[in-house]
């Protein structure tokens, strides 16, 4: 048998439209109505302001923990513009901007981070799953949903999110392999923010890109500038259209950067350099999009002020709503199953004894802090 190079008929492309320096490539610029551009900007800014506020709320003990999304807003928001309400959105835990676009009230997102199950119930009228923390487990749900859409022939597609760290989990591989075999209408967006807590992208995989992993599954891969909302919209629109027309799944690698800490329990200065953060700051998706809108005369100081005031009002309202809910430290046990298991009952009693027993009581054996 001769020795030959196997030709693999798959595309891996990269895309960036909105520059952080230099000129816009007008040939690649998508035609998006002005009102939609403004709404996208408002959502992105809402997400940023919500993020800043959550950090403060965690510091004063109002929410348990929080995973900031600063710098990653375009990567999750862009794909949402490419789908309709009947399509499915399966998030990981850094998709605040996407959730706001889909109509999740800020108070609900606060409830989730505050440990209240009500924060996991999606708003009416959209096919969304809640925030998912067990890394990459959501890939399996997304694949099942996409396959279900195909079996039901309802024309819906599923857009799911996972992090670069999540790509090392078996769940990610199994979901993509299955989705490709069954040609399920799944668009898997990897938010490659360069870090999985303190593990850099280089130690996550030897592959040059995450997008190229698509080749092994037999699907197309797309490496996109994840801090460029226009590129994220265009890439997802193409993948969604293909999936809707029976062309199967696509893997989109959104190259982005976590400008903040992993969560409020993390200190990133322990493992990454200030120079690296400085390198990514000019690529921040928010000022890039703002500059674009200003160049199109869709934003000026007056409009911006109105938008900012509106968002600030919504934030205050959301926090006031959140404050009205009872904070129950035992909910993590009671809310797990319809009926508590003996182990959960035992753990709850142990915690209650510790909390109510004061200083002298023995510390519970397990860790009761929210692990993220």
Which residues are the active-site residues? 258, 262, 271
Q: Which of 46, 193, 250, 256 binds Mg ion (CB under 5 A)?
A: 193
Q: With CB cut-offs between 5 and 8 Å by kind, which of ligand TPP, Mg ion, none does residue 372 bind? A: ligand TPP
Nearest to Mg ion of 75, 142 (CB atom)? 75
Query: Please, which residue, 130 or 166, has the CB nearer to ligand TPP?
Result: 166
Residue with tokens 């069954």: 182
Residue 3 backbone phi and psi in degrees, to 5: -100, 115
The number of beta carbons lying within 10 Å of the beta carbon of residue 35 is 9
* 163 near Mg ion (CB under 5 A): yes
Residues 167, 190 contacting (CB under 8 angstroms) = yes
- Residue of 196, 235, 293, 315 that binds Mg ion (CB under 5 A): 196
Q: How far is the CB of 261 from Mg ion (least distance, A)?
A: 12
Which residue, 163 or 248, has its beta carbon nearer to Mg ion? 163
**What is the x/- site pattern for Mg ion, positions 109-148, by CB under 5 A?**
----------------------------------------
Where does this chain touch Mg ion (CB under 5 A) — which range of 90-98, 188-196, 285-293, 346-354?
Answer: 188-196
Q: Which does 303 bind (CB under 5 to 8 A by kind): Mg ion, ligand TPP, none?
A: none
- CB neighbourhood size of 69 (10 A): 27
Positions touching ligand TPP (CB under 6 A) are 94, 133-135, 163-166, 191, 193, 195-197, 258, 262, 372
Contacting positions for Mg ion (CB under 5 A): 163-165, 193, 196
């Amino acid at each position: 048998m001769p020795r030959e190079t196997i030709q693999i008929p798959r595309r891996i492309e990269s895309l960036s439209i909105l520059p952080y320096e230099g000129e816009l490539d007008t040939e690649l610029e998508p035609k998006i109505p002005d009102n939609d551009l403004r709404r996208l900007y408002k959502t992105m800014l809402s997400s940023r302001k919500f993020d800043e506020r959550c950090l403060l709320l965690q510091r004063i003990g109002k929410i348990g923990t929080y995973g900031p999304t600063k710098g990653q807003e375009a990567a999750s928001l862009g794909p949402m513009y490419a789908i309709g309400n009947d399509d499915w959105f399966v998030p990981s835990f850094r998709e605040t901007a996407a959730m706001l676009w889909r109509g999740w009230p800020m108070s609900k997102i606060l409830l989730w981070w505050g440990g209240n199950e009500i924060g996991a119930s999606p708003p009416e009228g959209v096919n969304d799953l809640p925030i998912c923390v067990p890394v990459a487990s959501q890939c399996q749900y997304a694949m099942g949903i996409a396959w279900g859409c195909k079996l039901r022939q309802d024309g819906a597609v599923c857009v799911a999110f996972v992090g670069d760290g999540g790509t090392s989990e078996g769940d990610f591989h199994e979901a993509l392999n299955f989705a490709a075999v069954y040609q399920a209408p799944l668009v898997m967006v990897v938010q490659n923010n360069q870090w999985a807590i303190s593990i850099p992208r280089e130690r996550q995989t030897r592959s040059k890109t995450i997008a190229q992993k698509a080749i092994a599954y037999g699907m197309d891969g797309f490496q996109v500038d994840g801090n460029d909302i226009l590129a994220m919209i265009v890439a997802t629109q193409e993948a969604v259209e293909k999936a809707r027309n029976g062309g199967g799944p696509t893997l989109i690698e959104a190259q982005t950067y976590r400008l903040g800490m992993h969560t409020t329990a993390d200190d990133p200065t322990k493992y990454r350099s200030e120079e690296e953060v400085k390198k990514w700051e000019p690529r921040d998706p928010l000022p890039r999009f703002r500059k674009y809108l200003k160049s199109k005369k869709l934003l000026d100081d007056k409009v911006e002020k109105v938008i900012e005031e509106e968002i600030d009002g919504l934030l205050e309202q959301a926090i006031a709503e959140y404050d009205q809910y009872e904070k129950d430290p035992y909910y993590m046990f009671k809310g797990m199953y319809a009926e508590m298991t003996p182990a959960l009952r035992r753990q709850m009693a142990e915690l209650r004894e510790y909390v109510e027993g004061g200083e002298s009581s023995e510390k519970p054996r397990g860790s009761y802090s929210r692990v993220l």
